[in-house]
Amino acid sequence: MTILNWDDPLAAAMPSANSKKVNRKNTAADHTGSSESLSAIASGVMSSSNDCLSPVNAEDKRVVNGMTDVNQLAPFKYPWAWEFFLNANKNHWTPLDVNMSQDVHDYHHKLTQEEKHVYENVLSYLTTSDIMAMRNIGLAVMEKMTAPELQIYQARQVYEEAMHTWTYQHCIETIGLEQSEIYNRYRVVPAIYGKIKLANERLESVLTTDIDLRNRDDLEQFVMAYIFFAGIFEGCWFYNGFSPIFALQRRGLMKGTGEQLQYIMRDEVMHCAFGIRVVKQIMKEEKVTLDPRAIRTMWEEADAAEQNYADYILKDPILGYSAEEHKQQFRFIANRRAKQLRLQEPFPGATNALSWLDEQASMRKEKNFFETRVTEYQSGVSLKWD
């Protein structure tokens, strides 16, 4: 049996030719000593057996500010959160499951300069955004949950955000793009930086360790940040962020990248739905009422950032996709998310500019075995986006 070297777990531990023989006498003595120590520990435990805790009552659990044991999973108060976790584990995949050879050819021989501009800048935005999503859930949200069934799904979510980041890196590396230049665009391109800056401003406040959710102002700030994260950052910006690549995929271009974004879309739809459900549960349990003007400002800021982003990445339209369609689609999806959050529609009259998107973004299982590994992503081939 191979034993792992814990200092270098990637290298198999090799027995040394000069290794010393075991001193059986000393070993026996060690076992004797260990038995005596264990007896003493057991006696101490028995003597303190009266120090017990009351059983956990599921009804006492809360999303935040709960007082029950966060280490005890069941009984569940939020069985739907456990279902999210179980379903997420049906969606397992890696970027290595997708054949990218055709994408390499497409990028270097078929894409126009305008299409390359779109492809590169979408990846540039997404690479930074998913790291932000990973940090926000792992550092700002998950540790404030006081029901473990919520934390367990969010732990999976953190993993999935890391997987998405790997996917973008895999695309960038496979295509042969200059990594430093692509990754730094969010810092030097104002339209990309504007979205990242706004997200930082909305989310950074809840990353602080001294936020107190028993304080009403802090609690409302946390709820607003979570609404932004689930409803806008993941629910609108990510959804809208993939659509330019789906437009290429729809024309038979960059199909490997498009397929990987389809996998990511499945994850993000679940992230968004989970976050929105958590927010609504917090507002119900903690009796939170938000300022409609603050909500309105949040939508307007997000829309302005998305307008600038669309004008930059689609300054020259590509076949089948334009900046105006991108902007209109953001507003249409924003109305959808507001409805899910039971908030007033921010953009009345916005229409579905990309009627093909829901179908395009849904996973298809018709795969040529010799072109790509078949990944059974989840039962059913279409998503219910509402």
Q: What is the DSSP string of 50-95?
A: T---PPPPGGG--SSS--S-TT---S-S-HHHHHHHHHHGGG---G
334: nearest Cα among 305, 291, 363: 305
Q: What are phi and psi of 287, to 5 degrees?
A: 55, 55
Sequence-distant (6+) residues with CB within 8 A of 270 are 84, 87, 88, 91
Q: What's residue 39's pLDDT?
A: 54
Mean pLDDT of the chain: 83
Q: 8-17, 303-312, 356-365 — which is least confidently predicted?
A: 8-17
Residue 329 lies in a domain: yes
Residue 178: give the domain boundaries. 77-361
Q: How confident is the model at residue 3 (pLDDT cuts 50, 70, 90)?
A: low
Is 168 one of the catalytic residues? yes
Q: What's residue 303's pLDDT?
A: 97
Q: Which amino acid is at 196?
A: I
DSSP structure class, residue 6: T
Residue 38 lies in a domain: no
Q: What's residue 292's pLDDT?
A: 95
Q: What's residue 296's pLDDT?
A: 97
Q: 94-103, 223-232, 369-378 — which is least confidently predicted?
A: 369-378
Higher pLDDT, 163 or 27: 163
**pLDDT tens digits, 303-353:** 999 999 999 999 999 998 999 999 999 999 999 999 999 999 999 999 999
Instruction: Give yes or no for a contact between 178 and 150, defined as CB atoms under 8 angstroms apart.
Output: no
Residue 67 lies in a domain: no
Q: How confident is the model at residue 50 (pLDDT cuts 50, 70, 90)?
A: low
Q: What's residue 357's pLDDT?
A: 82
Q: Tell me the mean pLDDT in the region 4-32.
A: 47
Q: How confident is the model at residue 66 (pLDDT cuts 50, 70, 90)?
A: confident
Q: 48-62, 104-118, 248-262, 283-297 — which is least confidently predicted?
A: 48-62
Strand, helix or coil for residue 372? coil
Residue 1 lies in a domain: no
Choose, from 107, 119, 125, 168, the residue flagged as catalytic: 168
**pLDDT tens digits, 170-207:** 999 999 999 999 999 999 999 999 999 999 999 987 87
Number of Cβ within 10 Å of residue 259's Cβ equals: 23
Q: What is the CATH number of the domain that holds 265?
A: 1.10.620.20
Q: What's residue 367's pLDDT?
A: 44
Q: Which residues are annotated as a binding site for Fe cation?
A: 130, 161, 164, 234, 268, 271
Strand, helix or coil for residue 345? coil
- Asked if pLDDT for residue 377 goes beyond 60, the answer is no
- Asked if pLDDT for residue 2 goes beyond 60, the answer is no
Query: Measuring CA to CA, how many Å separate 5 from each of 13, 18, 19?
Result: 5, 17, 15
Q: What's residue 48's pLDDT?
A: 53
Q: Quick check: bond before 75 cis, omega within 30? A: yes
Residue 26 lies in a domain: no
- Asked if pLDDT for residue 24 goes beyond 80, the answer is no
d(CA 13, CA 128): 38
Q: 40-44, 60-64, 276-280 — which is least confidently predicted?
A: 40-44
Q: What's residue 93's pLDDT?
A: 87
Higher pLDDT, 93 or 363: 93
- Asked if pLDDT for residue 214 goes beyond 50, the answer is yes
Q: Tell me the mean pLDDT in the region 85-93.
A: 88
Q: Tell me the mean pLDDT in the region 51-62.
A: 81
Q: What's residue 19's pLDDT?
A: 46
Counting residues of the chain whose pLDDT is more than 90, the rounded percentage is 61
- Asked if pLDDT for residue 109 goes beyond 60, the answer is yes
- Asked if pLDDT for residue 368 goes beyond 90, the answer is no
Q: Is 287 left (phi over 0), alpha (psi -120 to 50) or beta?
A: left
Residue 378 lies in a domain: no
d(CA 234, CA 236): 6
Q: What's residue 125's pLDDT?
A: 94
d(CA 279, CA 230): 9
Q: What's residue 37's pLDDT?
A: 53
Q: How confident is the model at residue 119 (pLDDT cuts 50, 70, 90)?
A: very high
Q: Tell me the mean pLDDT in the region 133-156.
A: 90
Q: How many domains does the chain have?
A: 1
**pLDDT tens digits, 240-257:** 899 999 999 999 999 999
